[in-house]
Amino acid sequence: MVSPQQLLKKHFGYETFRPQQEEIIEKILSNADALVLMPTGGGKSLCFQIPALILPGTAIVISPLISLMKDQVDALRSNGINAGFYNSSQSFEEQQYILDACHREEIKLLYISPEKLLSDVEVITKACKPSLFAIDEAHCVSSWGHDFRPEYTQMGFLRERFAQVPFVALTATADKVTRRDIIKQLKLKSPQVFLASFDRKNLSLDVRIGVKPKDKIVEMIDFVQERENQNGIIYCLSRKKCEETFEALKNAGVNAMFYHAGMSSEARSSVQERFINDDLRVICATVAFGMGIDKSNVRWVIHYNLPKNIEGYYQEIGRAGRDGLPSETILYYNYADLQILNKFASEGPMAEVNLEKLKRIQQYAEADSCRRKILLNYFSENPDKDCGNCDVCKNPRRHFDGTIMVQKALSAIVRMGEKDGANMVIDVLRGSKRQEIIAAGYDKIKTHGAGAEVPALDWQRYIMQMLNLGIVEMAYDENFALKITPFGKEVLYNKRKIDLTVLQLIKPAEQKPKTKKASTLSSDEELFNHLRRIRKDFAVEENVPAYVIFSDATLDEMAKQKPMTESDLLLVSGVGEHKLLKYGQAFLNTIIDFSPTNSNKNKGDTYLETLHLFQQNINIEEIAKQRNLAETTIYSHIAQLYLFGKIDSLTNFVNEDDIVQVKEAFNVVGESKALKPIYEQLKETVPYYKIRLALAVLKKREG
């Protein structure tokens, strides 16, 4: 049986799995249920796509948006995987064709909306032998989530009906309460919960408070014009603001369009398609836009207004930089936004929960501590260090030792039984004698009045910091009670010191941010643009988004590494065997034809840079980290440097037994540009890097 590792390289072009992916795949293959929480762009889809290729039958993927299905299916087909979708946009004949193909087990993954699955469940499950069920955007099943979809709640019957089929629920945004609800609503059987790191280090976080509307527009126009070839999204609270922002950008010569629910479905589809295909640079949109976007090369996201909650905000900024390249996010915030959002939240369903979640995003916007820490703590992740890539880290606030103050608050929470909200805790700390406190007996506890010298408003902001630092958390489903986290217990019992931020007035921005100066394109950037044009030609020819051919990250690595052979191109992350055969030669020709003198110089430069670090006795892992390259690429450099005579010996990496094994395998498989046949001939016992180095030794001996 083909291994997940082999399928990863063959179809997706990656040598190694990201953290937890392999474990999730093994769990699904063992017929067990799983709940997967990974950030946008974190690789959730691979977790069910690879098991679908291994298991007999067809994987049923429940996806909320028709527009997203086509993109996902296009991407899979581009990787040489048989996939299809089944939805209301198709004719009866098209639907029947898809079902027949599933019956013949020709389609390995079938994407379908929850509504269509519910209405046609008998027809679909009769035609298909379900190998697994993957419920994407699983937070939609929970009324605690930020994007509740009632039809998702009916998915639970599938778990009972297909008792022997593994189920995996996947989402990029779900707090603890929502996670519990997903498991309950979908009736998952003792699922293992996989919580990947939500840390998107490539995203810079910037909050700008109190910028006037006119100044905001000027800032945004400057920002967009300084990023001439970049795609981005501007999220606005209202349809009117979307159109006004679009008009301002258009008048400034920016290739932009607006998108909101007030447009016809045809108009929205047209705008979305133009953006996906890089024919539009900027979208001014309400939050109606984005969930159906699988575009990997969005370089920035701006929020014109404060979002409704942290989950939505995190998901929206997560649409930037899905390819892993540096990307920017900006959030504008003023009191007027807060008033409007408070009104919306208080008048809608689940008003209490929505108001509390609004407070948390407000706290994030007003925070004086590392913003990434706040986001990660919200999703139960506790980083030790500040990120260095947010506006607070770049312009640090002043701090003081707040350990005793925090301990007072934590002591009050413990003595009150961890069942009360922030306001009650503050009243106890300040020594209030109101009736509810006396009735509960809180006036008798030791910490009653322990913080009387601190004004109530200041206590609110200190408790806000405690929430942001992950010292306490709020249980929405228990009347918003404050609960002490394991980290908080360390602080309470004198094991950890805590610094709090000195409170300061929230002031409007005093000056406009500095804009980046235009610079001459480097050779690598020029080549990158050439590669983009080749990619665009293929995309137009195949009628798929450009990133389906290759992501910006893959093109960026091509431009930096300048592979000259098919085996070199296979080492580029994102280039699998299928894409190598389909597109490889066109991209290689572009690289080879691009300024040959410069190419050779740059190729030599990159080898010499590796040699310089290698001669300092720096290990391969550290060289790769310093150069921001894959370890496989560094080993490729080492092999070439050995052939050039710059390195005397490779005995530290490959021994004589390895060389003999590789030689024997090479003689069996014959002349090959790829390492994989040799790797398979050796029963996967010799890693790729040793095969490459052994071949270099053999070539030099022959030479």
Q: How far apart are CA 508 and CA 34, in angstroms?
A: 46
Q: How remote is the C-alpha of 152 from its chain's centroid?
A: 23
Q: What is the pLDDT of residue 196?
A: 85
Nearest-CA neighbor of 301 among 330, 265, 342?
A: 330
What is the full DSSP assignment across 159-185? Answer: HHHTTTS-EEEEES---HHHHHHHHHH
Amino acid at 233: I
Instruction: Name 314's Cβ contacts closer than 8 Å, sequence gap at least 6.
Output: 39, 172, 173, 198, 375, 378, 379
What is the full DSSP assignment across 577-623? Answer: HHHHHHHHHHHHHHHHHS-HHHHHHHHHHHHHHHHHHHTTT--HHHH
pTM of the model: 0.67
Average pLDDT over residues 374-380: 87
Above 70 in pLDDT, residue 50? Answer: yes
Q: How far apart are CA 700 and CA 698, in angstroms?
A: 5
Average pLDDT over residues 334-363: 82
Residue reference for tokens 């997940």: 4
What b/e sequence results for 138-172 when a residue is b if at least 16 CB atoms lie within 10 Å of its CB, and e otherwise? Answer: bbbbbebbbbbbebbbebeebbeeeeebbbbbbbb
Q: In whole angstroms, how far apart are CA 192 and each of 28, 33, 103, 158, 593?
A: 10, 7, 31, 19, 51
Average pLDDT over residues 450-471: 88
What b/e sequence results for 264-296 when a residue is b if at least 16 CB atoms lie within 10 Å of its CB, and e otherwise? Answer: eeeebeebbeebbbbebbbbbbbbebbbbbbbb
Query: Taking phi first (over 0 means left), then psi (-120 to 50 degrees means alpha), and beta for anything else, what does residue 293 get?
Result: beta
Q: Which of 46-55, 85-94, 308-317, 365-374 has the highest mean pLDDT?
A: 46-55
- H/E element, 472: strand 472-475
Cβ atoms of 429 and 447 closer than 8 Å: yes
Q: In whole angstroms, how far apart are CA 102 and each of 74, 134, 330, 661, 699?
A: 17, 16, 45, 43, 48
- According to DSSP, the β-strands at 499-501 and 399-401 are antiparallel
pLDDT per position as a tens digit, 653-700 = 999 999 999 998 888 876 555 677 788 788 888 888 898 899 889 888
Q: What is the pLDDT of residue 98?
A: 92
Above 90 in pLDDT, residue 82? Answer: yes
Cβ atoms of 290 and 316 closer than 8 Å: yes
Average pLDDT over residues 496-500: 91
509 band by pLDDT with thresholds 50, 70 and 90: very low
Amino acid at 200: R
Q: Which residues pair with 578 in a beta bridge?
A: none
Torsional sign, CA 22, 28, 34, 36: positive
Q: What is the pLDDT of residue 296?
A: 83
Range with the lowest mean pLDDT among 460-474, 500-514, 535-549, 560-574?
500-514
Q: What is the pLDDT of residue 605?
A: 65
Nearest-CA neighbor of 182 among 212, 215, 152?
A: 152
Average pLDDT over residues 404-420: 96
Above 80 in pLDDT, residue 356? Answer: yes
Nearest-CA neighbor of 362 among 314, 417, 306?
A: 306
Average pLDDT over residues 40-55: 90
Helix segments in 348-400, DSSP class H: 351-366, 371-378, 391-394
Cα maximum dimension of the chain: 93
Above 80 in pLDDT, residue 514? Answer: no
Percent of the chain with pLDDT over 70: 93
Higher-pLDDT residue of 505, 352: 352
**At what angle are helices 596-614 and 577-593 packed, to 10 degrees?**
110
Averaged pLDDT of the chain: 86
Amino acid at 610: T
Q: What is the pLDDT of residue 507?
A: 43
Range with the lowest mean pLDDT among 149-153, 263-267, 324-328, 578-582?
149-153
Average pLDDT over residues 547-575: 88
Q: What is the pLDDT of residue 510?
A: 42
Q: What is the pLDDT of residue 599?
A: 42
Instruction: Name 463's Cβ contacts closer than 8 Å, sequence gap at least 6.
Output: 409, 422, 425, 426, 472, 482
Average pLDDT over residues 522-529: 86
Above 60 in pLDDT, residue 511? Answer: no
pLDDT per position as a tens digit, 1-18 = 678 988 998 899 888 898
Q: What is the pLDDT of residue 406?
A: 96
- H/E element, 85: strand 83-86
Q: In whole angstroms, how far apart are CA 699 and each of 326, 642, 702?
A: 39, 10, 5
Q: What is the pLDDT of residue 420?
A: 94
What is the side-by-side strand order in the sheet with 282-285? Answer: 203-209, 327-333, 298-303, 231-235, 282-285, 256-259
pLDDT per position as a tens digit, 156-178 = 888 888 989 999 999 887 778 88
Q: What is the pLDDT of residue 508?
A: 40
- According to DSSP, the β-strands at 231-235 and 298-303 are parallel
Q: How far apart are CA 301 and CA 261, in angstroms?
A: 20
Q: What is the pLDDT of residue 405?
A: 95
pLDDT per position as a tens digit, 275-311 = 988 889 999 998 766 555 678 889 999 999 999 999 8
Q: How far apart are CA 40 and CA 21, in angstroms?
A: 14
Average pLDDT over residues 395-422: 93
Percent of the chain with pLDDT over 90: 41
Above 80 in pLDDT, residue 516? Answer: no
Above 70 in pLDDT, residue 236? Answer: yes
Above 90 in pLDDT, residue 61? Answer: yes
What tokens were used for 368? Answer: 């004086």
Q: Which residues pair with 282 in a beta bridge?
A: 232, 256
Q: How remote is the C-alpha of 223 from its chain's centroid?
A: 23
What is the full DSSP assignment across 429-456? Answer: HTT---HHHHHHTGGGSTTTTTTTTS-H
Above 90 in pLDDT, residue 194? Answer: yes
Q: What is the pLDDT of residue 504?
A: 60
pLDDT per position as a tens digit, 63-77 = 877 767 888 898 899
Above 80 in pLDDT, residue 369? Answer: yes
Q: What is the pLDDT of residue 157?
A: 85
What tokens were used for 243? Answer: 């159109």
Q: What is the pLDDT of residue 34?
A: 96
Above 70 in pLDDT, residue 602? Answer: no
Walk me through the domains of the chain, giving residue ranges and CATH numbers.
4-195 (3.40.50.300), 203-394 (3.40.50.300), 399-501 (1.10.10.10), 523-702 (1.10.150.80)
Q: What is the pLDDT of residue 674?
A: 63
Q: What is the pLDDT of residue 482?
A: 93
Nearest-CA neighbor of 550 among 577, 567, 531, 564?
A: 531
Cβ atoms of 158 and 189 closer than 8 Å: no
Residue reference for tokens 């207004």: 305
408 band by pLDDT with thresholds 50, 70 and 90: very high
Q: Is 672 exposed, middle or buried (0-12, 13-18, 19+ CB in 10 A)?
A: middle
Torsional sign, CA 219, 222, 223, 224: positive
Query: Taking phi first (over 0 means left), then psi (-120 to 50 degrees means alpha), and beta for anything else, what does residue 394 get?
Result: alpha
What tokens were used for 312? Answer: 């939505």
For the chain, the residue count is: 703
Nearest-CA neighbor of 580 among 13, 2, 7?
A: 13
Q: At CB < 8 A and 24+ separation, what contacts does 316-319 make? A: 316/233, 316/235, 316/287, 316/290, 317/200, 317/203, 317/205, 318/39, 318/40, 318/41, 318/172, 318/200, 318/203, 319/40, 319/233, 319/290, 319/293, 319/295
Q: What is the pLDDT of residue 70?
A: 81
